[in-house]
Amino acid sequence: MNLLFVASECAPFVKTGGLADVIGAVPKALGDMGVTTRVLIPAYPAIQGLAASGKQVIAFDDLFGGPAQVLAVKAEGLDLLLLDAPHLFDREGSIYLGPDGQDWPDNDVRYAALSYVGAQIGLGAIKNWTPDVINAHDWQAGLIPVYLRQSGQPTPPVVTTIHNIAFQGNFAPSRLNVLRLDSEHYTPDGIEYFGKISYLKAALVMSDKITTVSPTYAAELLTPDFGMGLDGLLRARAGDLHGILNGIDLDVWNPETDPTLVANYTARSFKGKAANRAELEKRFNLTGDGPLFCVVSRMTSQKGLDLLLECLPSMVAQGGRLALLGSGDPHLEKEFIAASNRHAGSVGTIIGYDEDLSHLMQAGSDAILIPSRFEPCGLTQLYGLRYGTLPVVARTGGLADTVIDANEAAMLADVATGFQFAPINATMLGHAITRTIHAYAQPKTWASMMRRAMRHPVGWDLSAAKYLDVYSLAQER
């Protein structure tokens, strides 16, 4: 099978979140199953050096306002197709946001162009290579099935993957002509969504199959509480919706070989954790010997970090410590910096993102906190399991699917790998933190949980096989 992935980011080349990790890992797992996957992403400034070594496979005289080309290059075990369109992607700032922290005003055109090129590849624009299936990821690739349908030609099936339904790509209908969209599609049964063009709705209406990143999130999306206004559409397409759990790249995230760590370790002997903890304490100016919790996260209300702020005084009073790495909501950033000052030695905050430091935090911490109000899958809890850093998670989405709560039955059966809490509020989060601290005070119990966590399957093999099944179903249309 020839497969085309289309996404807005891909690790390790350009990353703002878990989407990039997935795009960077799944093609490798599928390759082991005989699937030839090519990954189409924009050639942002960070990967211009890589693009310079690429071979041109498509050229455009006018791609939504300027010349562009697609460059093929192999790197990091991936077969990449880089959309080199300087008028759209060669600019300073975040890949989605300008220097002012706001969305680029032409994001609609930028990602329409990405979708348009993905559709052209589906129609045979690359000599001697045409995909059998296109997997479009999130709203940035959502217009692919629309452009394919508008072509009037035979087209490959499209599978759309929802990584987070909160991000939908909604834009003014006055942009229809600019985006090269036929007005006949702008209807309630098509791409219209509450008076706007919705890239994600377009994908959900016109794709052959839909996947999302965990079985529980797939079920949650069918409800008004989680469907973000698209639950009715998804209920109508429930037979085409598949929840497939995310995995992680076991080579990149491996405590036995991770080059970013002070000391490597295994599930048999995790003594190396102590050296990593000491370095982590140094980096975050932490003292004491109580359990060390970490947070590696975007700082938004979705992630429930305001709930954690409420729990910090009790956590510190019980001897718990916290190292937080993240950025986002200015109010949350300010509050955690203030908490670090109030609880000096027990709470440390670093605003920003550092990939190497995130690895050290997984290796040096005892537990990782993920109190998300909703979480399609989550990857940091999987990294935690892999590194023996026990996850403390809200019972939602993929968090519920990947962590076995240390309740009495699970402890008796010797299967617990972390701590879940529900309902999702500060009281129950505080209770979960207390349970974690009590378990940490029992070294034999804690060590057993660490070993089980580190042996828990978190790779892509099983999930990649399920993706392959969905691709095969899509081809039966």
Supply φ then ψ for residue 215, to 5 degrees: -60, -40
Q: Residue 28: beta bridge partners?
A: none
Whether the Cβ atoms of residue 427 and residue 433 lie closer than 8 Å to each other: no
Question: 196 a known binding residue?
Answer: no
Angle at 327 between CA 43 and CA 47, to 5 degrees: 15
Whether the Cβ atoms of residue 157 and residue 134 lie closer than 8 Å to each other: yes
Tokens of 350: 């670093």
Quote the CA–CA distance of 379 and 429 in Å, as a whole number. 20
Where residue 34 falls (left for φ over 0; alpha for ψ -120 to 50; beta otherwise) is: left
Q: Which of 369, 316, 365, 370 is nearest to 345 (CA)?
A: 316
Three-class secondary structure assignment of the chain? CEEEEECCCECCCECCCHHHHHHHHHHHHHHCCCCEEEEEEECCHHHHHHHCCCEEEEEECCCCCCCEEEEEEEECCEEEEEEECHHHHCCCCCCCECCCCCECCCHHHHHHHHHHHHHHHHCCCCCCCCCCEEEEECHHHCCHHHHHHHHCCCCCCEEEEECCCCCCCEECHHHCCCCCCCHHHCCCCCCEECCEEEHHHHHHHHCCEEEECCHHHHHHCCCHHHHCCCHHHHHHCHHHEEECCCCCCCCCCCCCCCCCCCCCCCCCCCCHHHHHHHHHHHHHCCCCCCCEEEEEEEECHHHCHHHHHHHHHHHHHCCCEEEEEEEECHHHHHHHHHHHHHCCCCEEEEECCCHHHHHHHHHHCCEEEECCCCCCCCCHHHHHHHCCCEEEEECCHHHHHHCCECCHHHHHCCCCCEEEECCCCHHHHHHHHHHHHHHHCCHHHHHHHHHHHHHCCCCCHHHHHHHHHHHHHHCCC
User: Residue positions in the annotated binding site for ADP-alpha-D-glucose?
Assistant: 15
User: Residue positions in the annotated binding site?
Assistant: 15
